[in-house]
Structure 1
Amino acid sequence: MFDRVAAKYDRTNNVLSVGNAPLWRVATTKAVDPKPGQRILDVAAGTGTSSASLARSGASVVAADFSPGMIDVGRRRQAHVPNLVFVEADATKLPFDDASFDAVTISFGLRNVNEPKQALAEFFRVTKPGGRVVICEFSTPSVPFVRFGYNAYQRYVMPPLVRLSSSNDTAYDYLNESINAWPDQRTLAAWIRGAGYVDVAWRNLTMGVVALHRAAKPVPPGE
């Protein structure tokens, strides 16, 4: 499915988010707080738009995605970024050594993983002690009238926008289904804590349409 939408994926995201996608990307990059010399893993990186934003800090960024089509588009579009590499990878079975990244991040991809808790366990495994995880994902608006308006947007406005902007509008039928089936902020925080992370926190973006979760991998005693 993602191979089929790769060509116009970024444009469609900008249209469907009503211009909010770049703002969410900025918030995520700030939360990751990449530094020169650090190694960052961006999972479900798609065409690497978020990965390139992280790489501008001087950090070494690995953009991992399950879709060969997304990676192919990403490698072409981000060819000018020297400290960014693309790797085809399954989020539930990452091809990286233990404790090999200073930070792991995923934006709008965790809900697309068949076993999200297994993915979180893999994120924890490859995060260095003291490192961090940042997850940006659609969530549950906390205010009733915002939930009502968001549901109406998904039902009546999003379908025609998809037909206008996407390279494969039928693939986006899955989008609303996956968003509506995804757990709320508190539940995701519990999953992250269950994977082993500590200091789990989140903040809502766009009144809870999106939530940004953050956590750290504890440092073993004596290290």
Structure 2
Amino acid sequence: MTRADLGKDPREVSAMFDRVAAAYDRTNNVLSVGNAPLWRVATTRAVDPKPGERILDVAAGTGTSSASLAKSGASVVAADFSPGMIEVGRRRQAHVPNLVFVEADATKLPFDDDSFDAVTISFGLRNVNEPKQAIAEFFRVTKPGGRLVICEFSTPPTPFVRFGYGAYQRYVMPPLVKLSSSNDTAYEYLNESINAWPKQPELAAWIREAGYTDVAWRNLTMGVVALHRGRKPVA
């Protein structure tokens, strides 16, 4: 098995990411046509980390987004269920003193209730087999008054952009993956999972169902990606 499928068995997804860990960041930059760093900046600004805060970055992968959050002086926990990703992340981010890596399943987070000032996940919720359960876990570990930020691939609202993006996925992405990835078949799952993912209003509804308020989203890159936000009410 070199790739997962839309059943999203946790063991298969974890193993798939183990195999692509070494070249993961490079491949993301290539496939996003240079937009990945811009999405990271937008996510960091939405989280708005502050010195002294404790922030959970779920599905953190190699910790690139976590390191960006940690520059603020906040204490950041980078959680991922892929041991291979964590191994690469610990090595690459060893110079960041306020960043720790934890192996964790998004649907069963090993943290106490009300533990974090902010919880964020970038391009990882789509890979969870029970995303609603994961959002409920995010809510559980968020402090009252704390915030949630989800950055995820989405559906461009404009038909012309949807058509162009679909053409990119079908005809441009496959040869780019062959050039940049150590496991090009794993990225077939990437397109499948993006196309099967709910549109922005549905994800916003899931976030509200979990208990978050002030839920909103902002489209990035014409809706190829969407940035969702919510806040846990103060009791």
Pairwise CA distance, 1:24: 0.2
Give distance in 1, aligned partners of 2:217 and 2:189. Answer: 26
Pairwise CA distance, 1:213: 0.3
TM-score, structure 1 as length reference: 0.98
Pairwise CA distance, 1:167: 1.1
1:110 aligns with 2:125: yes
**Cα offsets for 1:82-109 (capped at 9, x unmatched):** 0000000000000000000000000000
**Cα offsets for 1:39-69 (capped at 9, x unmatched):** 0000000000000000000000000001000
Give distance in 1, aligned partners of 2:61 and 2:88. Answer: 8
Pairwise CA distance, 1:131: 0.0
1:129 aligns with 2:140: no
Q: Could you say which residue in structure 1 is the equivalent of 2:85?
A: 70
Question: Which runs of 4 or more aligned residues in structure 1 lie more than 4 Å from their structure 2 counterparts after TM superposition?
Answer: none
Find the residue that maps to 1:169 and give its secondary structure: coil
Q: Could you say which residue in structure 1 is the equivalent of 2:75?
A: 60
Give distance in 1, aligned partners of 2:142 and 2:110. Answer: 13
CA RMSD of aligned residues (A): 0.3
The one of 62, 74, 80 aligned to 1:47:
62
Give distance in 1, aligned partners of 2:230 and 2:186. Answer: 32
Give distance in 2, aligned partners of 1:90 and 1:197. Answer: 21
Give distance in 2, aligned partners of 1:155 and 1:118. Answer: 31
Pairwise CA distance, 1:155: 0.2
Give distance in 2, aligned partners of 1:36 and 1:156. Answer: 45
User: How many correspondences in the alignment?
Assistant: 219
Give distance in 1, aligned partners of 2:114 and 2:39. Answer: 27
Give distance in 2, aligned partners of 1:193 and 1:164. Answer: 41
Q: Could you say which residue in structure 2 is the equivalent of 1:11?
A: 26
Pairwise CA distance, 1:207: 0.3
1:166 aligns with 2:185: no
TM-score, structure 2 as length reference: 0.93
